[in-house]
Amino acid sequence: TPEEVRAAGSAYRVYASRGPADEDGDYLVDHSVLIYLLGPDGLLLDFYGRGKSARDIARSVRRHMDTYRPLPLGEQ
């Protein structure tokens, strides 16, 4: 639902704003430009902005994969 989308955006501190509609009713959305890395348990591991290169992101993802440890049962 729209409310769930807003709640998810808020939880991840995403900025989004609908621009004015044109004469056809079309509009643009201004929003955060981030990539989020979530672990297999759904928890946020890292995020990457526009300043990160593909090499930086790949290195970070590999590091997270190498060091990932699942949460003990009951803490998920």
Question: Which of 16, 20, 54, 60 minimizes the C-alpha distance to 37?
Answer: 60
Q: Is 64 annotated as belonging to a binding site? A: no
Annotated binding site for Cu cation: 31
Annotated binding site: 31
